[in-house]
Structure 1
Amino acid sequence: MKQIIHDKDAYGKGLMAYQEGKKNAKFTVKSNIAETERWDISVFFRNESQMPEAETIALNHCKGKVLDAGAGAGSHSLWLKNKGFEVTSIDISEGAVEVMRKRNVTDARLEDFFLLSDTQKYDTILMLMNGIGIVQSIDRFPLFFSKAKQLLNTGGRIILDSSNIIYLYEDEDGGATININGDYYGEIEYQINYGKIIGEPFKWIFIDFETLKDMAEKEGFSCNKLYEDDHYLYVAELELL
């Protein structure tokens, strides 16, 4: 995993283009499980009134000092800032961090979650827009939970959203065909491009709630579902026991 993205930062360049006035800017997103998609970059700049229900519920469950991990353009950090929270906002994209600073995010840092110093503790780790994807694969979750324990105060929590992407493997009869001896079906590979800037491919994971709950409980966290929609997306709260 590349720790900090300096070159080929298509994600950061796209965010910067939008910040500088290109309001119709789009990412071209390739993956190994779906056709090439075009994403409106405006989605990363939503204000409070534009936040979807899932994200609003997640934000309302934040407590105390917050680490916004994979903060992107900083929209969730700004929501929390406006509510009086102390927030540290991290991302591995140089462009994203620059955009956050231009948007007056208070404490925006170019940092990798897994390399973050544990000298500063938090009450909430926030990981929205499937921020848990940074874990990349099922076998890296023990590493993730170990790092989260280092960063959280006693009784701290992780607030995240993700999706069960089993629907991508369903046939016309509603059954799903999965290789049980292969990788977990939520492990995918993405590539984000902006204009002529071709980003490096990276691994990402979408995790179903039951699998998340099982692993969290084994690692000393409770895991409760706060929200679920009709399209397999959910919000979870994991509390350190």
Structure 2
Amino acid sequence: MQDPISQGVFNYHYHRDNSPILIHSDGFDTDEVLPSYFFRNYKQMPKLEQKALDLAFGRVLDVGACAGCHSYYLQNKGFDVTALEQSHMCCQVMNDRGITNVSNTNLFHLENEKYDTILLLMNGTGIAGTLNNLNLFFKKLRSLLNPNGQILIDSSDLIFLYTEEDGSAVIDIAADKYYGELTFQTEYKKQKSSTFPWLYIDQDLLKEYVKKSQLKVSHIFKGDHFDYLAKITY
């Protein structure tokens, strides 16, 4: 089968099967996500996603579009938006939903294109996987950005996992990886994906890596629980 998230999205769209997708992680308890969540409308989105969509302008690239909820909203607002997604099944769903520009490819395979807004939502830093990949990740995003454009990317600082009742944080500094580097595995109807790395990054460290790519974090919008949306520009 395809990856569990894609299968869940496909089955929900075509058969209204809302069987849960399980998210296993080495940092959290197993989480459960209903496929219908990937079809949420603007009013159902978290406030940081709404903020990102409100900030979008010009030609838009929606990276990791999945079922296309962000692309669908922006397209209906009159934007020229490209939904970028690796999963063939998710792309089929988006095409069937009427999303005009669907690109079934990897971010790093996208060439000779420029955008005014690049969206990376639902913990967009996770796409990089690990800190070691961040420089290449931002270099690629920079190559796709128009001079006056913006990258809108969200993440969370997982320091709360290590915070004591008195507000102090205890982190094993001898650990061989950054505390925001996790390993995930998805499951749908007892079919599991391979494990994959996923990156959460604190705001200060994000700024360091963005600066190395000759970009800057021009604004940080904070969420309710250690989550944030970063606006990155030249």
Whole-angstrom distance in 1 between the partners of 2:57 and 2:88: 28
Gaps of 5+ in 2: none
Whole-angstrom distance in 1 between the partners of 2:147 and 2:58: 12
Aligned counterpart, 1:42: 36
Whole-angstrom distance in 1 between the partners of 2:125 and 2:138: 11
2:228 match: secondary structure: strand
User: 1:26 aligned to 20, 24, 27, which one?
Assistant: 20
Aligned counterpart, 2:148: 155
Instruction: Show CA shifts across 1:220-239 (max 9, x none).
Output: 11203342123011111000
| Contact 1:57 1:226 (8 Å CA) reproduced | no
Whole-angstrom distance in 1 between the partners of 2:191 and 2:91: 18
| Contact 1:67 1:122 (8 Å CA) reproduced | yes
| Contact 1:190 1:201 (8 Å CA) reproduced | yes
Alignment-mate amino acid for residue 129 of structure 1: M
Query: Over aligned residues, Cα RMSD in angstroms?
Result: 1.5
| Contact 1:73 1:100 (8 Å CA) reproduced | yes
Aligned counterpart, 1:92: 86
Q: Give the superposition deviation at 1:23.
A: 5.1
Gaps of 5+ in 1: 1-6
Match status 1:75 vs 2:69: yes
Match status 1:179 vs 2:172: yes
Aligned counterpart, 1:141: 134
| Identity fraction in percent | 39
User: 1:66 aligned to 43, 46, 60, which one?
Assistant: 60
Q: Give the superposition deviation at 1:171.
A: 3.1
2:125 match: secondary structure: helix
Aligned counterpart, 2:162: 169
TM-score (norm 2): 0.93
Whole-angstrom distance in 2 between the partners of 1:34 and 1:83: 36
| Contact 2:5 2:35 (8 Å CA) reproduced | no
Q: How does 1:81-230 map to 2 (within 5 A)?
A: 81-117=75-111, 119-181=112-174, 182-230=176-224
| Contact 1:8 1:198 (8 Å CA) reproduced | no
Q: Give the superposition deviation at 1:115.
A: 2.0
| Contact 1:11 1:199 (8 Å CA) reproduced | no
Q: Which runs of 4+ in 1 moved over 6 A?
A: none
Pick which of 169-178 and 89-98 moved more: 169-178
Whole-angstrom distance in 2 between the partners of 1:177 and 1:8: 39
Report the count of equivalent residues: 233
Q: Give the superposition deviation at 1:187.
A: 0.6
| Contact 2:23 2:185 (8 Å CA) reproduced | yes
Q: Give the superposition deviation at 1:184.
A: 1.1
Whole-angstrom distance in 1 between the partners of 2:178 and 2:121: 21
Aligned counterpart, 1:3: none
Alignment-mate amino acid for residue 176 of structure 1: A
| Contact 1:190 1:204 (8 Å CA) reproduced | yes
Q: Give the superposition deviation at 1:20.
A: 2.0
Whole-angstrom distance in 2 between the partners of 1:62 and 1:107: 17
Pick which of 215-224 and 136-145 moved more: 215-224
Alignment-mate amino acid for residue 166 of structure 1: I
Alignment-mate amino acid for residue 132 of structure 1: T
Whole-angstrom distance in 2 between the partners of 1:233 and 1:21: 33
Instruction: Show CA shifts across 1:176-218 (max 9, x none).
Output: 2222242111110111111132112111101111111122123
Aligned counterpart, 1:9: 3
| Contact 2:217 2:233 (8 Å CA) reproduced | yes
